[in-house]
Structure 1
Amino acid sequence: MVEIYFSILTPKETTIKIKRSEFIGNVKKVNTEEEAKEFIKEISSKYRNATHNCWAYKVNGNKFNYSDDGEPSGTAGKPIFGIIEKHDLTNIAIVVTRYFGGVKLGVRGLIDAYSQCAEETIINSKIGKYIDLKIYKVKTDYSKHAEIERLLKRLNGWKIVNQEFAADVSFEIAIEEDKENEILKILKNKGHIEYLRTEEVGIK
């Protein structure tokens, strides 16, 4: 059985303002607890003058942790982790930084603010599925490349991971196992095809 999990594809910092407090969300796809902790340390250092750097992470499906970093217990880390669970994500770390604006938000206000910032950060960073895909290198001429593009657009289960335009066109294509035969049929006789490796790739 092929293992599939969901995480973010393109990390994007997201800022929201609520009652004069500024909340800054940062997220990263990580593979281990050590990577998660390193990311949290990096963002906390970047915003070392902030009032709070609250965080949550989940890796390998079942290892997780979260911190309120000085906010009232249960108002920051747990709501951030709740958003990770809501979207069924793993191998992910989120840090929500707060600059206090002078207006207290109360327990419910804090829970809502940290949840909102975490969710908007995840959505802006685009959720994708991660799966082990087979990577092939294809070298072809420009006219056949245009035909390949047209035919591939009709299918899903693939992603171009590298592309180079020179005298010829060469590109690497990552293919899901159950689409391999169908896609190789399209590529056959349209250029030189070489199997490279199997690699974990994130796709929409």
Structure 2
Amino acid sequence: MPFTIASTVTFEEEIKKSRFQAITSPVENEQEVKAFLELHKDISTTHQCWAWKIGHHVRFNDDGEPSGTAGRPILATIEGNDLTNIIVLVNRWYGGIKLGTGGLVRAYGGCAGQSLLLAEKIELIEKKKVHFQCTFSEWAILQYELRQQNIEFIEHYETDGVHVNALMQIHQIEPFAIKIQDLTRGRELLKIVKELNDE
């Protein structure tokens, strides 16, 4: 069962006069990754190394540290904790003492690992984007149902009725699809929107 984390956590430690700071955050997509990295851009650091995992997609960056000594150990920590939809950024402020490749691997991986120990793990519930349309009178009933189940949705009012995009947990899709079919007497269907990065 994949897990993610509930909220952003930060951990700091000093290793041989270098200061290391790990910032760990949940992310849903690559836009959120970019926004996170932009938000935490810090020109005072010597290196900003990171790794992220969303579903089966992974990326990591050594940001000038010797290849394989920073981004990969951070990613290994994420995967070792069975986490996904997460980014870990480790900032380093160089303190004048070289750590060597083994020391760097331990420092980056260790700092990332400590931040993950502070994070509250939550079970990742897979969601899918869905789309449906209905008449204005049907929308009152369906809107009530969406709100009852805490489903995120955006509605667009068109001349032919209401067009709705929603984000549903996997187990919510089938019962809601049946509800739409019953309410519209089979006229409308719930469609799952294919994501570009779907495997």
Of the three residues 63, 83, 92, the one matched with 1:89 is 83
Q: Deviations over 1:178-199 (max 9, x none)?
A: xxxxxxxxxxxxxxxx934347
Structure 1 contact 52–99 (Cα < 8 Å) conserved: yes
- Tell me how large the CA RMSD over aligned residues is: 2.0
Partner Cα separation in structure 2 for residue 83 and residue 95 of structure 1: 12
Show the 5 A alignment for 1:1-204. 5-43=2-40, 45=41, 47-59=42-54, 61-131=55-125, 195-198=148-151
SS in 1 for 2:9: coil
How far apart are 1:125 and its partner, in Å?
1.7
Task: Give the 4+ runs in structure 1 shifted more than 2 A.
Answer: 130-133, 194-201
Partner Cα separation in structure 2 for residue 63 and residue 77 of structure 1: 15
Partner Cα separation in structure 1 for residue 150 and residue 16 of structure 2: 51
The structure in which a higher percent of residues are strand is 1
Q: Deviations over 1:121-179 (max 9, x none)?
A: 1111222212269xxxxxxxxxxxxxxxxxxxxxxxxxxxxxxxxxxxxxxxxxxxxxx
* Gap regions ≥5 residues in structure 1: 134-193
How far apart are 1:84 and its partner, in Å?
0.7
TM-score, normalization by structure 1: 0.61
SS in 1 for 2:103: helix
Tell me how many residue pairs correspond in the alignment: 135
SS in 2 for 1:14: strand
How far apart are 1:114 and its partner, in Å?
0.2
Partner Cα separation in structure 2 for residue 37 and residue 97 of structure 1: 16
Structure 1 contact 40–55 (Cα < 8 Å) conserved: no
Partner Cα separation in structure 1 for residue 148 and residue 38 of structure 2: 39
Partner Cα separation in structure 2 for residue 24 and residue 68 of structure 1: 15
Q: Deviations over 1:21-63 (max 9, x none)?
A: 10000011010012112212221x2x2210000000111x211
SS in 2 for 1:13: strand
TM-score, normalization by structure 2: 0.63
Partner Cα separation in structure 2 for residue 29 and residue 21 of structure 1: 26
Identity %: 39
